[in-house]
Amino acid sequence: MKRMMSVWRTIVTIFTIAAAIHAYRTKQSHGRYYNIPFEFRIPTIERAKKRVWNAEDRRLFTPNIFGVGWTLNFHEAAVRLNIIEEPVESRV
């Protein structure tokens, strides 16, 4: 198990470096690299709120606040787990 985690960590590190090189070469601070989102802009409170607790977004996973990958939209997770309820007309 320890070896598998080491291999996984190496793969993620290599992909993150490759995405950073891609961002630098294309002069993009955010976007997608092999269809995986990356975000290298300085994080802001507004962007963090939009990604972590977004009642308007039905996606469970949103692009990461900083780095490569996804962040869990806790609002959507709470709705799907029936922890919070929303009016039916707002979930169109």
65-91, pLDDT tens digit by residue? 999 999 999 999 999 999 998 766 665
Q: For residue 89, what is the DSSP state?
A: G
Backbone angles phi, psi at 38, to 5 degrees: -130, 150
The whole-angstrom separation of Cα 84 and Cα 13 is 36
Structural domain boundaries in the chain: 2-90
Confirm if 38 and 51 have CB atoms less than 8 A apart.
no
Q: Global pTM?
A: 0.77
Top pLDDT among 91 and 43 is at 43
The whole-angstrom separation of Cα 16 and Cα 34 is 12
